[in-house]
Structure 1
Amino acid sequence: MAPRLLVHTRTTGYRHDSIPAGIAALRTLGDFEVHATEDPAALEQPLEAYAAVVFLSTSGEILTPAGRERLAAYVESGGGFVGVHAAACTEYDWPYYGGLLGARFARHPLHQPGKAVVEDHDHPATRHLPAVWDFTDEWYDFRTNPRGRVRVLATADESSYEGGGMGADHPLVWCRDHGQGRVFYTALGHAREAYEDPAFRAHLLGGITWAARLPPP
């Protein structure tokens, strides 16, 4: 049986028009059975059947108290969690979620070309990438720098675009252990075009397989 992904895309804040493209990409990335939903009740059910839970550009407060409890228990007991782009703009009222993800969104400059510097190539999400990855995105700033609490995989080179607000050390992609589970986050993925980019698709696939403890692509 193919591994199952629960892909949650509920938004109560800004809604990215790239969400359908993201779902379509996840359905074709690997040998996954993808259950995409915006129903918060889906997170209230047992999650153990899923190899990973993916928050794909979610925003705002999206979970019920029961859903929060289920998600926390799932990751703590060994489940995989993957946050993509606006997943960092999610559940501001739930302190646990900020610790789970590693950092929360603060602001972003205009969508524009820039450069991501790969800091750690010893990870399935980044091992295929060049040392400096040219990409176009929103280059999220975060309220706090997660370094020291996460394993930073790639940083933003703020000299390569306009409007960066975190300075020389600007983590952009990271992973971490949480309880017995694994968490992967990438700030990239704003535009529909990203989900057609082979390098970004491989980046997502590597992050998901790592979080889910599946064989790397």
Structure 2
Amino acid sequence: MKIRFSILAILVFLVGFSYAEAQQFRALVFSKTTGFRHQSVPVGVVAVQNLGRSHVFAVHTTEDASYFTDENLEKFDVIILLSTTGTIFNEEQKAAFQRFVQSGKGVVGVHAATDTEYEWPWYNQMMGAYFLAHPRQQTLRLEVVDSDHPATWHLPKNWLWTDELYEFRNINPNIKVLINADESTYSPAKPMGEKHPMAWYHEFDGGRVFYTALGHVESAYEDPDFLKHLYGGIWYAATGEPFK
């Protein structure tokens, strides 16, 4: 009986080990909010979990900021800030997050991730901008200005989209813009002009960062083009592909 139990335990261990080894990378989805709470957050979390199953990467989700320790974060390759809002970290958690990025890991910001940590300059530069305003939800033309990134490989140059359309302040001049909003096709709240980024990436403080302003509406997380856009950004941030 003991022998059978030992063999079973070994098999369970080997299966678990093989599963862990089979994952491309490990993602932490963090969706804590202390400001506005988007209705799309639960749908977005499920969408990333589904992407993990479809694209063979591990997903852990939490809204507990105390999880941000060196010991916990070293398990992951990318942190996905899914419509976080407000002040979500204390000083120790901020330091752990910075060390994570500085170790060469990745960060993905989705929608309200720019509506987060307004008193933390490092975060502003890392994420690439701060939220300024948005008009009512509208349809617009998104212009794909860089098709050489996995987040935009699949997209047409002119992408018709409906969402809550962010305008920004404190934009890091070093971000590399992937998608612009064509303000001539909708009514902005605080116009930014011809240079109105809606998705970007950059290398920052040793790590890789991807941000998309899309994803306010719940239907976005059922849209194949948006999901490919999101996964392309996650893949880039987690692995550096194809820009190593």
- TM-score w.r.t. the length of structure 2 is 0.85
Task: Give 1:44 deviation, angstroms.
Answer: 2.5
2:165 to 139, 156, 164: 139
Out of 129, 145, 148, the residue aligned to residue 103 of structure 1 is 129
Per-residue deviation, residues 4-29 of structure 1 (Å, max 9, x unmatched): 21110000000001011101110111
Residue-pair matches, total: 215
Bigger radius of gyration: 2
Counterpart of 1:129 in 2: which secondary structure?
coil
- Whichever residue aligns with residue 185 of structure 2, its letter is S
Q: In the alignment, what sits opposite 1:26?
A: 48
Corresponding position of 1:171: 197
Distance 2:171 2:126 in 1: 14
Name the amino acid aligned to 1:166. Answer: M
Contact 2:144-2:180 within 8 A present in 1 as well = yes
* 8 Å CA contact 2:130, 2:171 repeated in 1: no
Comparing 174-183 with 42-51, which one deviates more in the overlay?
42-51
Deviation of the 1:179 alpha carbon? 2.2
> Identity over aligned residues, as a percent?
47
Distance in 2 (CA, whole Å) between partners of 1:28 and 1:145 is: 32
Distance 2:217 2:77 in 1: 26
Is 1:120 equivalent to 2:146 in the alignment?
yes
Q: Secondary structure at the match of 1:13?
A: coil
> Which consecutive unaligned segments of at least 5 residues does structure 2 have?
1-19
Counterpart for residue 3 of structure 2: none
Equivalent position to 1:9, from 31, 42, 57: 31
Higher helix share: 2
Aligned-pair distance for 1:76? 1.3
2:124 touches 2:170 (CA, 8 Å); kept in 1?
A: no
* 1:178 to 1:215, Cα distance in 2 relative to 1, 3 A: closer
**1:42 offset after TM fit, Å?**
1.1
Match of 2:63 among 38, 44, 61: 38
Counterpart of 2:16?
none
Please say if residues 8 and 56 of structure 1, whose CA atoms lie closer than 8 Å, have aligned partners that are also in contact: yes
The farther-off stretch of 158-167 and 126-135 is: 158-167
Partner of 2:13: none
Inter-partner Cα distance in structure 1 for 2:229 and 2:215: 10
Match of residue 174 from structure 2: 149
Q: 1:140-165, CA deviations, whole angstroms, 9 ceiling, x for partnerless residues?
A: 0001344x311110100011111251
What amino acid maps onto 1:162 in structure 2? S
